[in-house]
Chain A
Amino acid sequence: MAVMETLAAVEIKGNLGAIGYGLAAIGPGVGIGYIFGNGVQAMARQPEAVGLIRQNMILGFAFCEALALIGIVMPFVYPS
């Protein structure tokens, strides 16, 4: 690819898969922070509902994490 040639010409080389995962981790990073931030706030507002909040928080975390982990697996699926 022309992009890779240009980058190689200025001595920027590396594994595109690693870069791909790094980009893929931005969204879930924000998402997980949002989930747990709101979860902690909800627990602070209503300590009686801690169990319910914790369950839903873990569930939401697992969904968000799935995307980041598909990101780490994809470079192995498409090795360059």
Chain B
Amino acid sequence: MSAADTTLAFDASCKIFVEGGCGFQSPGLHSFVFKPMFTVGGFEFNKPILLALVTTLVLCVFFWKAFASPKVVPGKLQMVAESGYDFVRRGIAYETLGKKEGEKWVPLLVSLFFFIWLMNLWSVIPLAQFPVTSIIAFPAALAILVYVTWLSLTFKRHGFVGGLKNLTGYDKSLGAVLPLVMLIEFFSNVLVRPFTHAVRLFANMFAGHLLLVMFTIATWFFLNSWGFAYAPVAFVMVMVMIAFELFIQAVQAYVFVVLTASYISGALEEAH
């Protein structure tokens, strides 16, 4: 069911309680499909792509302006950008990877964190109001990026046999259960990791967007009928969900980056 087929919930001609009216327009998969703004030779350019590009632009401009001419006594913008950068560097990179190795990975982790966080934030920013990461392609691409990074790092650091030992958690002292452990670890590391890495972020944003849309449509639905006294309740729920979503967006960006650092550190660790 594409967006073109859906009766818009805020369409004025949608009469709810008239016989043959449109009823409660519940959100669903169609809420995540957008009509293209324009088509360039088969490639449809729609709102999520626009938001992703705007995210890139905003982040580049923000960090450029903050760090272009850094001062020893920082101005406001530089201080904010520095505290964000330092949060990822100290809190994630140094914690997980150690000081020496962590320094190499700080650019990747900082970029991932702010990119994912801003893409999540579009869910609650007016006019946009759509979390870009709730389309599986965006988290999947980032998860594949991380997957290729740590997988190739494993084999580069330990060679082919050593890399396989790393991936399967090979440990001589396990004895009889070793084949089982190797099988489980292989599945869990090589096959399931990128899936859960992407789906955790995607599902959080997907469910959050559905919740917000549900309560928003519910507010409008109540306003259109004799149940208008219920509309403030639904509106309060929208506010509560926005607050909750602000928290979850930051947490999911944080967890994505922490797991990235953890996978990279797992690739770099010495054999037992």
Once A58-B251, A62-B252, A66-B196 are accepted as A-B contacts, the answer to whether A72 and B203 lie under 8 Å apart by CB is yes
Q: Map CB proximity to A onto B225-255 as digits: 1 under 8 Å, 0 otherwise.
A: 0000000000000000000000000011011
Q: Are A62 and B255 in contact (CB under 8 A)?
A: yes
Measured CA separation A27–B57 after assembly (Å): 41
B60 contacts the other chain (Cβ, under 8 Å)? no
B191 contacts the other chain (Cβ, under 8 Å)? no
B29 contacts the other chain (Cβ, under 8 Å)? yes
Number of CB contacts from chain A to chain B under 8 A: 40
When C-beta atoms are compared, the residue in chain B nearest to A51 turns out to be: B91
Q: Map CB proximity to B onto A49-78 as digits: 1 under 8 Å, 0 otherwise.
A: 000000100110111011001101100100
B255, chain A: closest CB distance, angstroms: 4
Q: Are A73 and B207 in contact (CB under 8 A)?
A: yes
B111 contacts the other chain (Cβ, under 8 Å)? no
Once A62-B251, A62-B252, A62-B255 are accepted as A-B contacts, the answer to whether A72 and B196 lie under 8 Å apart by CB is no
Query: B255: which of A59, A72, A73, A76 is its contact (CB, 8 Å)?
Result: A59
Q: Which of A17-68 contact B (CB under 8 A)?
A: 55, 58-59, 61-63, 65-66
Which of chain A's residues have a CB closer than 8 A to the CB of B157?
none
Q: Which of B128-175 contact A (CB under 8 A)?
A: none
B interface: dominant SS: helix
Give the number of chain A interface residues (Cβ < 8 Å): 13
When C-beta atoms are compared, the residue in chain A nearest to B197 turns out to be: A66
When C-beta atoms are compared, the residue in chain B nearest to A21 turns out to be: B207
B35 contacts the other chain (Cβ, under 8 Å)? no
Once A66-B199, A76-B29 are accepted as A-B contacts, the answer to whether A59 and B258 lie under 8 Å apart by CB is yes
Q: Are B258 and A73 in contact (CB under 8 A)?
A: no
When C-beta atoms are compared, the residue in chain B nearest to A69 turns out to be: B203
Query: B207: which of A59, A61, A63, A69 is its contact (CB, 8 Å)?
Result: A69
B271, chain A: closest CB distance, angstroms: 26
B interface, CB within 8 angstroms of A = 28-29, 91, 196, 199-200, 202-204, 206-207, 210, 251-252, 254-255, 258
5 nearest interchain CB pairs? A69-B203, A62-B255, A66-B200, A73-B203, A72-B207
Given A59-B258, A62-B254, 16 additional A-B pairs, CB 8 A: A58-B254, A58-B255, A61-B251, A62-B251, A62-B252, A62-B255, A63-B200, A65-B204, A66-B203, A70-B199, A72-B203, A72-B206, A72-B207, A73-B199, A73-B207, A76-B28
